Amino acid sequence: MNKKAKGWILWIVILLIMLLFVCLLSMFYGSVGIPINRLIEIILKGEKGGERIILFDLRLSRIILGIAFGGGLSLCGVILQGMFRNPLVEPYTLGISGGAALGVCIGIVLKLSKISGSYILPVSGFAGAVFVVIIIYALSIRKGKIKIQNLLLTGVMISFVCSSLVMLLMAISRSEDLHGIIFWTMGSLAVNDWLLVKISITISLTLLFISLFFTIDLNAISLGEEEAIHLGVNIERSKKALFFIVSILSGISVSVAGVIGFVGLIVPHIMRMIFGNDHRILLISSYIGGAIFLILCDTIARTIISPLELPVGVITGIFGGGLFIYALNRRKVSV
């Protein structure tokens, strides 16, 4: 194994350690303070009760979702930026979040949650996302090949159409629904259902694993689509698989946790500044980096104006944007 690969492995270990640290930080920080000695007592004595619930039910579920979606959204971002060879593309550019938002809004306005409980909103969100994905895909396929330009343009247009429809629904909805819609669109990791959490993390990790098989293809595609074919890469198969991965992953993250922006834009950029353009390290470092970033932002979001909670998308935007500008000034960014 050569020097480059050894360097990568070292970095991955460092990132994993940072992730562990951030997870522990997030466990202990919150609107209700629980000191470490209490934590040890609780684990050792197997205590049940309020504090255990806070730690292992409420906070742990947020941490796991932070990994699933922070990692997932960054992964989607880095894949899309590689496929489109455009640094400004992020998972929401393709309109998938617009479709999910529309699905959830329709669910809220039709009061579906009163009928079928808390699962109906993520399901309707996911249905909306899938619907949009099918439209985009159908409009971008020509003779069995995905036209990347069409994908981008169609996605952007659909994104606009969906947000207009969402605004329409907001204009005619009742105030309690409106409040719900607004808060949902601002994103939150306070998903109070373990089944959803488990599904999310399983899917997220599985898709990460699958995406690693396409890192070489992404390296080739970064030269250009024709050039990638010249290098013997089956780009149609790669594009379809990667499109599928991005659709499912961003669809599920928007349906379950709402719209959390910037993660898919900022984290891949920072990783590119550190590692360059080799997707073999970019994909996994973006995933771990995204997890760290989202968990940190979530911890801030739920402690800064306790007991109220800020939407996590606010923190990712401000914190992430600021971080990015700072990094830009320190080092030349090129793609």
Rule CB under 8 A: is residue 117 a binding residue for other proteins?
yes
CA angle 265, 266, 268 (to 5 degrees): 75
Selected range binding other proteins among 53-61, 160-168, 261-269, 320-328, rule: CB under 8 A: 53-61
Rule CB under 8 A: is residue 46 a binding residue for other proteins?
no
* C-beta separation of 187 from 260 below 8 A: yes
Select 27 or 158, whichever has its Cβ closest to other proteins. 27
Q: What are the b/e assignments for 270-281, b being 16+ CB within 10 Å? A: bbbbebeebbbb
Total site size for other proteins, rule CB under 8 A: 67
Rule CB under 8 A: is residue 183 a binding residue for other proteins?
yes
CA distance 66 to 291: 6
CA distance 86 to 121: 33
Among 213, 322, 325, 328, binds other proteins (CB under 8 A): 213
Residue 53 to residues 50, 59, 202, 272, Cα–Cα distance (Å) = 5, 8, 22, 39
Rule CB under 8 A: is residue 274 a binding residue for other proteins?
no
CA distance 210 to 49: 40
Q: Which residues contact 197 (CB under 8 A, 6 or more apart)?
A: 61, 64, 65, 68, 191
Interface characters, 78-107, with other proteins (x: CB under 8 A): ------------------------------
Rule CB under 8 A: is residue 138 a binding residue for other proteins?
no
Select 50 or 322, whichever has its Cβ closest to other proteins. 50
Name the minimum Å distance from CB 193 to other proteins: 7
Among 44, 45, 46, 172, binds other proteins (CB under 8 A): 172
Rule CB under 8 A: is residue 179 a binding residue for other proteins?
yes
Phi-psi region of 29 (alpha: psi -120 to 50; beta: other; left: phi over 0): beta
Among 37, 144, 149, 171, binds other proteins (CB under 8 A): 171
Name the minimum Å distance from CB 99 to other proteins: 21
Name the minimum Å distance from CB 157 to other proteins: 22
Rule CB under 8 A: is residue 59 a binding residue for other proteins?
yes
With CA atoms as reference, report the closest residue to 186 among 285, 274, 104, 127: 104
The SS3 of residue 142 is: strand
Residue 216's Cβ-side half-sphere holds a number of Cα atoms within 13 Å equal to 6
Contacts (CB under 8 A) with other proteins, residues 222-261: 222-224, 226-227, 229-234
With CA atoms as reference, report the closest residue to 260 among 111, 61, 133, 77: 77
Rule CB under 8 A: is residue 308 a binding residue for other proteins?
yes
Read off the DSSP letter of residue 143: T
Rule CB under 8 A: is residue 276 a binding residue for other proteins?
yes
Phi-psi region of 34 (alpha: psi -120 to 50; beta: other; left: phi over 0): beta
Among 20, 47, 145, 306, binds other proteins (CB under 8 A): 306
Place of tokens 């007592």: 41
**List of residues contacting other proteins (CB under 8 A):** 1-2, 5, 30-32, 48-54, 56-59, 113-114, 117-118, 121, 171-172, 174-176, 179-180, 183, 190-195, 198-199, 201-202, 213, 215-216, 219-220, 222-224, 226-227, 229-234, 276-278, 280, 302, 306-309, 334-335
